[in-house]
Structure 1
Amino acid sequence: MKAIVIGGSGQIGGWLLRHLADRGSDAVGTFATVAYPGLYPLKASDREAAASWLRQQAPDVVFYPAGFTWVDGCEHDPATARASNLEEPLNLARVTADIGGRFVYFSTDYVFRGVNGPDSEESPPDPPNVYGTAKLDAERAIAGELGDRALIVRTSWVYGPERQGKNFAYQVIRRLIAGEPVMVPSDQRSSPSYGPDVALAAIRLVEDGHSGLFHVAGPEVLSRPDFARAIAKGFGFDLEPIGSKPTAELGQGAPRPLQGGLLTPRLDAVLPGLMRPVSTSIDDFLRRLNHDDGWNDPRVISSA
């Protein structure tokens, strides 16, 4: 299988490339702003150039975990949110379909308002913010144009080892190391999803010929405080610095789902047990950091 990963420097993109290589696939990753060795510089915003390059590559499958994922930034800049999360991936999805390939688009639990979650693939979406709206519009546009050549993967609260070190687990660990308080929303609940598992699930779904919409998320629904405490405990830190306040008191720029999370009936039917719970995942997280697999280690204080 020849695969292209648009956004290979990101959290899910990095794991897609690692797993694809381990499984013997011919995989090429791209980056837009954060360069790593072996990645090809590609700006999806340069739509003609990106389309031309993709045609030359002639992949069997394109994975698209890239996009503008800063939720508050999307709220303040809806044009960029729509371009990065809808128009640019749709451009490359069309090219992929033209050359006979399959397209995997990564979406979010933020397509749901988060009032009665967790939600399944059958739950009616109702995005609470600009980010979720752009993602939902992309899901519908890509699925509508590509049909069974499209796989839509919704996930939530992704964490685990990564090269840039930006996810929630890194934020918690670094603040604890610095002796700073960790303040998280008391009233947000969702499904923590281990990045290596999310990437592997997407690849396995492609290998097995699946298409359509799949929720790919961890098996537990936790509150942000419980998730933060699980991370701290797993890494051997005191839980005392972890505090919480209601979302309304934290001044976040975009509305968030509160009672969120993703149910995974379709994934469980075809790949049962693939998504690991938080405690097991954190053990794996530490093991990978300790083996120095090239991931950013949040326990190491940079001198920069």
Structure 2
Amino acid sequence: MKAIVIGGSGQIGGWLLRHLADRGHDAVGTFATVAYPGLYPLKASDREAAVAWVRQERPQVVFYPAGFTWVDGCEHDPATARASNLDEPLNLARVTADLGGRFVYFSTDYVFRGTNGPDSEESPPDPPNVYGLAKLDAERAIARELGDRALIARTSWVYGPERQGKNFAYQVIRRLIAGEPVMVPSDQRSSPSYGPDVALAVIRLIEDGHSGLFHVAGPEVLSRPDFAKAIAEGFGLDPSPIASKPTAELGQGAPRPLQGGLLTPRLNAVLPGLMRPVSLSIDDFLRRLNLGEAWSDPRVAPGLG
């Protein structure tokens, strides 16, 4: 399979590239701002150049885990949110379909209000913020224009080893090692999803010819405090500096789903047991770190590892 990963420098993009290579596929990844060896410089915002490059590569599948994912930033800049999360991927989805290929779009649990979660693929979306609305509009536009050439993968609270070392697990581990307090929302619940598993699940869905909408998320629904404590304990760190406040007291710029999370009936039916719970995922996280397979080690000061 000839594949392109738009956003290969990100946490899901990095694992897509690694798993694709391990499974014998021909894959190339791109970066927009954070360069890594082997990645091709491409800005999806330069739409004509992006289309020309995809036409040149003639992929059988394009994976699109890129976008503007800073939720508060999206709230303050709706135009950029929609351009990055809707217009730019739709532009490349169209050229992919024109070439006879398939397009994989990564979406979010933030398409749901989060008042009565966890939600399944059949639950009615109701985004609480600009980011979720842009993602939902992109889901619908890509599905409408590409039909069975599109796969939409919603995920949530992605964590685990990654190149840039920015996800929630890295933040918790680094702050605890530095002796700093960790403040998390007390009233947010969702499905922690291990990045390597998310990437592998989506690749296997494509390999098996699936299309349409799939929730690709971890099997548990946890609160932010419980998730943070599980990370701390899994890494052998004292969880006592972890504290919490209601979301309303944290000054976040965009409304968040509170009672969120994703149910995964469609994924469970075709790939049962692939998504691992937090305890097993953290074991794998540590194993990869100790084997030097995890790019960035949160136990090491940035620039020293």
TM-score interval, normalised by the smaller of the two chains: over 0.9
TM-aligned CA deviation for residue 239 of structure 1: 1.0
* Equivalent position of 2:266 in the other structure: 266
Would you say 1:161 and 2:161 are equivalent positions? yes
For 1:198-225, what per-residue CA distance to the aligned partner results, in whole angstroms no more than 9, with x for missing partners? Answer: 0000000000000000000000000000
* Equivalent position of 1:183 in the other structure: 183
What SS class does the counterpart of residue 66 from structure 2 fall into?
coil
For 1:223-250, what per-residue CA distance to the aligned partner results, in whole angstroms no more than 9, with x for missing partners? Answer: 0000000000000000110000000000
CA distance in 1: counterparts of 2:48 and 2:218, whole angstroms: 37
CA distance in 2: counterparts of 1:295 and 1:190, whole angstroms: 26
Would you say 1:278 and 2:266 are equivalent positions? no
TM-aligned CA deviation for residue 187 of structure 1: 0.2
What SS class does the counterpart of residue 3 from structure 1 fall into?
strand
* Equivalent position of 1:231 in the other structure: 231
Structure 2's unaligned 5+ residue stretches are none
Aligned length: 304
**Moved segments of 4+, more than 3 Å:** none
CA distance in 2: counterparts of 1:221 and 1:129, whole angstroms: 21
CA distance in 2: counterparts of 1:71 and 1:291, whole angstroms: 33
What SS class does the counterpart of residue 292 from structure 2 fall into?
coil
CA distance in 2: counterparts of 1:262 and 1:87, whole angstroms: 25
Would you say 1:115 and 2:115 are equivalent positions? yes
How well do the aligned residues superpose, as a CA RMSD in angstroms?
Answer: 0.7
* Equivalent position of 1:60 in the other structure: 60
Whether contact under 8 Å (2:11, 2:162) holds in the other structure is yes
Structure 1's unaligned 5+ residue stretches are none
How high is the TM-score relative to the length of structure 1?
A: 0.99
State the identity as a percent: 89
CA distance in 1: counterparts of 2:65 and 2:76, whole angstroms: 22
Whether contact under 8 Å (2:161, 2:294) holds in the other structure is no
TM-aligned CA deviation for residue 40 of structure 1: 0.2
CA distance in 2: counterparts of 1:292 and 1:70, whole angstroms: 29
TM-aligned CA deviation for residue 92 of structure 1: 0.0
What SS class does the counterpart of residue 227 from structure 2 fall into?
helix
* Equivalent position of 1:219 in the other structure: 219
Would you say 1:24 and 2:17 are equivalent positions? no
* Equivalent position of 2:150 in the other structure: 150
* Equivalent position of 1:171 in the other structure: 171
**Matching residue's letter, 2:295:** W
What SS class does the counterpart of residue 203 from structure 2 fall into?
helix
* Equivalent position of 1:8 in the other structure: 8
TM-aligned CA deviation for residue 302 of structure 1: 2.6
TM-aligned CA deviation for residue 294 of structure 1: 4.8
**Matching residue's letter, 1:105:** Y
* Equivalent position of 1:128 in the other structure: 128
For 1:256-304, what per-residue CA distance to the aligned partner results, in whole angstroms no more than 9, with x for missing partners? Answer: 0000000000000000000000000000000001111151100001358
Would you say 1:199 and 2:199 are equivalent positions? yes
Whether contact under 8 Å (2:155, 2:215) holds in the other structure is yes
How high is the TM-score relative to the length of structure 2?
A: 0.99
What SS class does the counterpart of residue 100 from structure 2 fall into?
coil
CA distance in 2: counterparts of 1:303 and 1:163, whole angstroms: 13
**Matching residue's letter, 2:59:** P
For 1:115-173, what per-residue CA distance to the aligned partner results, in whole angstroms no more than 9, with x for missing partners? Answer: 00000000000000000000000000000000000000000000000000010000000
Whether contact under 8 Å (2:105, 2:152) holds in the other structure is yes
What SS class does the counterpart of residue 251 from structure 1 fall into?
coil
CA distance in 1: counterparts of 2:293 and 2:169, whole angstroms: 18
What SS class does the counterpart of residue 105 from structure 1 fall into?
strand
CA distance in 2: counterparts of 1:290 and 1:53, whole angstroms: 38
CA distance in 2: counterparts of 1:44 and 1:17, whole angstroms: 18
